[in-house]
Amino acid sequence: MGAPYLENKPCGGRYGDLVAAIGNTPLVELKRLSPKPGVRIWAKLESHNPTGSVKDRVARAMIEDAEARGAISPGQTILEPTSGNTGISLGMICSRKGYPLKVVMPDNVTRERTQLLEMYGAQIVYSEGAKGSNGAVELALEMAGADATYYMPYQYGNEANPRAHYEGTAVEILEELDEVAAFVAGLGTGGTLMGNGRRLKEVLGDAVKVVAAEPMQGEPVQGLRSLDDGFIPPIIDLSLLDRKIFVTNRDAILWTRKLLDDEGLFAGVSSGAIARVAVRIAGELDEGNVVFMVCDDGWRYLSSGIYTRPVDEIENLDSTVWW
């Protein structure tokens, strides 16, 4: 017997330019991950966005929101603290739209990151690596405070970030599935969880559980001097979450490998962590659809060796901020 017919679009759509082609990503069932027949696990492949990550949606929403408000016009410099995908997405979009981009990021990111940003013409300002993302946020806020000509979208506090998912990702999921028992995504800025969570709960009520997977950073990167130096992105509303579960670096990498080995899905480390939580939640259900986010693909992690080497031989496993 063949696989049941899946109604879907013959292609992702037709668009006038690359920025317009962001979104409308495939939703793919991962049958081998499902722990029981009545529970179906679906991966939303955000890696299919033009620069290869979910952050294309966020970057476009923030820039177009600022344009619509008249807050920016071509030629103005955009400044953003980001150690990865948001910078790459902003790089592509800003270069298309004529905005110079400055990205503040820790000085210890991989070469792929730096190259991708430079490739899109971004100027990089380095912050102290030991301070991680907190340090990049701090420095960018300082720079923006000192120079009013910068426009900082600030993904951690910009409502256009969750709105990109509320008006985009979640609508796409609901077009394909009438019922969602659980939605699982990574907790970083909170945009993905807040935007999708809000829309899914509005449409499906409490039948849908919104579940956050978050990185348990290794001890070497828990480098805060004091707990008062902590940071909670302003757009996060914890009351929207039903569960919040941490994943160790080791488990995140093991599950990234499992996605590749079992399903042929070449995804980034956060997606492995999110898949681990999705499968756990699936195991607690009797039936229903579990949707999880594949935030990016694996290309930009290749140099770390995580796809080819045994996990115990991976260098700096605990001292690396993997996602």
Subset of residues 171 to 230 that bind another protein, contact rule: CB under 8 A: 185-192, 212, 214-217, 219-230
From the candidates 47, 127, 270, 271, which is the catalytic residue?
Answer: 270
Using CA atoms, how far apart are residues 162 and 192, in angstroms rounded to an integer?
6
Using CA atoms, how far apart are residues 183 and 185, in angstroms rounded to an integer?
7
CB of 93 to another protein, least distance (A): 15
Within 77-106, which residues bind another protein (CB under 8 A)? Answer: 82-86, 105-106
The residue among 23 and 40 lying less far from another protein, judged by its C-beta, is: 23
CB of 107 to another protein, least distance (A): 8
Q: What is the DSSP letter of 3?
A: P
Within 12-31, which residues bind another protein (CB under 8 A)? Answer: none
The residue among 46 and 65 lying less far from another protein, judged by its C-beta, is: 46
| Residue 289: both structure tokens together | 């659809």
| Residue 216: both structure tokens together | 């348990």
Active site residue 127: no
Assess 158 for contact with another protein (CB under 8 A): no
- Draw the binding track, 34-73, toward another protein (x: CB under 8 A; -: no contact): -------------------x-x------------------
From the candidates 44, 55, 102, 209, which is the catalytic residue?
Answer: 55
The amino acid at 200: L
Going along 163-284, which residue ranges are E strands? 182-186, 209-216, 243-248
Using CA atoms, how far apart are residues 41 and 7, in angstroms rounded to an integer?
17
- Name residues whose C-beta falls within 8 Å of residue 13's C-beta, 6 or more positions apart in sequence: 21, 24
Using CA atoms, how far apart are residues 68 and 73, in angstroms rounded to an integer?
10
Q: What is the DSSP letter of 58?
A: H
Assess 137 for contact with another protein (CB under 8 A): yes
| Residue 227: both structure tokens together | 């707990």
Active site residue 102: no
CB of 21 to another protein, least distance (A): 20
| Element containing residue 116 per DSSP (H, E) | helix 111-119
Secondary structure class of 112 (helix, strand, coil): helix
Among 231, 234, 261, 284, binds another protein (CB under 8 A): 231
The residue among 86 and 289 lying less far from another protein, judged by its C-beta, is: 86
Assess 157 for contact with another protein (CB under 8 A): no
Q: How many residues bind another protein (CB under 8 A)?
A: 73
Using CA atoms, how far apart are residues 220 and 8, in angstroms rounded to an integer?
46
Among 27, 108, 172, 177, binds another protein (CB under 8 A): 108
| Residue 124: both structure tokens together | 């990089």
| Element containing residue 265 per DSSP (H, E) | none
Using CA atoms, how far apart are residues 144 and 196, in angstroms rounded to an integer?
30
CB of 146 to another protein, least distance (A): 21
Among 7, 17, 286, 315, binds another protein (CB under 8 A): 315
Residue with tokens 């923006």: 144
The residue among 72 and 269 lying less far from another protein, judged by its C-beta, is: 269
CB of 224 to another protein, least distance (A): 5
CB of 54 to another protein, least distance (A): 8
CB of 132 to another protein, least distance (A): 7
- Draw the binding track, 255-274, toward another protein (x: CB under 8 A; -: no contact): -------------xxx----
The residue among 8 and 222 lying less far from another protein, judged by its C-beta, is: 222
The residue among 33 and 277 lying less far from another protein, judged by its C-beta, is: 277
- Name residues whose C-beta falls within 8 Å of residue 120's C-beta, 6 or more positions apart in sequence: 88, 91, 92, 94, 95, 101
Phi-psi region of 230 (alpha: psi -120 to 50; beta: other; left: phi over 0): beta
Residues assigned a catalytic role: 55, 270
